[in-house]
């Protein structure tokens, strides 16, 4: 009886130890997969510089960019995107998609219109260097800063419509400062 009890306890300890090793190995594999996905470009971080996206983002705030967001789908109006700065491909711009391929962008009475609908926060005295109305070319987006009077964006011919293949990714989360952390809609 005593011998059988020892054998049963040993078997329970062995099963428990194997379960712990299996759980630890699974946790390790998940951690490695998360690290590799972040390291290999599924997500990146970005630091906001300037006031062109106020009030949504302020200078020095930090956010997460989902690099693979547009691998299988197109950007939507309202998405906040990151793309290379014209003339300095190492620097990046962050702007909001105002119009996508095939949309008509126009400027009337101090406001921007997309397909005849007035944009929120689209009132400005700066039209840009395009002749309007403009039909957004295929496979591109027209992007504006939320702080439209302080933004260098698609209105400027040096920026222009952004080719979808040049979009680095979609901003999905602000993580700094902590008190403003949250998902970006």
* pLDDT tens digits along 13-47: 666 766 677 777 777 777 666 665 665 567 878 88
| Overall pTM > 0.75 | no
Residues 6+ apart with CB under 8 A from 84: 90, 91, 92, 93, 166, 168
Burial class (CB in 10 A: 0-12, 13-18, 19+), 95: buried
Report residue 149 as tokens: 């009077």
Q: What is the C-alpha to C-alpha distance for residues 62 and 178, in angstroms, rounded to an integer?
A: 10
Q: Cβ–Cβ contacts within 10 Å for residue 16, how many? A: 10
pLDDT on residue 140: 95
Give the residues across from 132 on adjacent strands. none
User: Per residue in 99-129, pLDDT tens?
Assistant: 999 999 988 877 888 998 888 766 666 666 6
Q: What are the residue boundaries of the structural domains of the chain, listed by start?
A: 1-40, 43-183
Active site annotation includes 95: yes
- pLDDT tier at 11 (50, 70, 90 boundaries)? low
pLDDT on residue 162: 92
pLDDT on residue 37: 60
Domain 43-183 is in which class? mainly beta
- Catalytic residue (one of 52, 100, 154, 170): 52
- Catalytic residue (one of 92, 95, 100, 170): 95
User: Per residue in 69-98, pLDDT tens?
Assistant: 888 889 999 999 999 888 787 788 899 999
Q: What is the C-alpha to C-alpha distance for residues 125 and 108, in angstroms, rounded to an integer?
A: 10
Active site annotation includes 52: yes
């Amino acid at each position: 009886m005593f011998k059988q009890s020892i054998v049963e306890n040993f078997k329970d300890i062995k099963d428990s130890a194997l379960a712990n090793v299996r759980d630890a190995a699974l946790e390790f594999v998940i951690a490695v997969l998360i690290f590799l996905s972040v390291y290999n470009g599924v997500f990146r971080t970005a630091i906001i510089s300037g006031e062109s996206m106020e009030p949504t983002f302020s200078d020095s705030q930090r956010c997460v960019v989902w690099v693979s967001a547009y691998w299988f789908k197109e950007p939507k109006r309202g998405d906040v995107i990151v793309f290379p700065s014209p003339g300095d491909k190492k620097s990046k711009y962050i702007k909001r998609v105002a119009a996508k391929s095939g949309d008509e962008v126009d400027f009337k009475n101090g406001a921007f219109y997309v397909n005849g609908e007035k944009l929120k926060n689209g009132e400005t005295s700066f039209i840009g260097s395009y002749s309007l109305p403009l039909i957004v070319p295929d496979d591109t987006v027209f992007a504006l800063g939320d702080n439209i009077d302080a933004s260098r964006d698609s209105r400027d011919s040096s920026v222009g419509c952004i080719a979808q293949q040049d979009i680095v990714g979609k901003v999905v989360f602000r993580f700094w400062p902590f008190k403003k952390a949250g998902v970006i809609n």
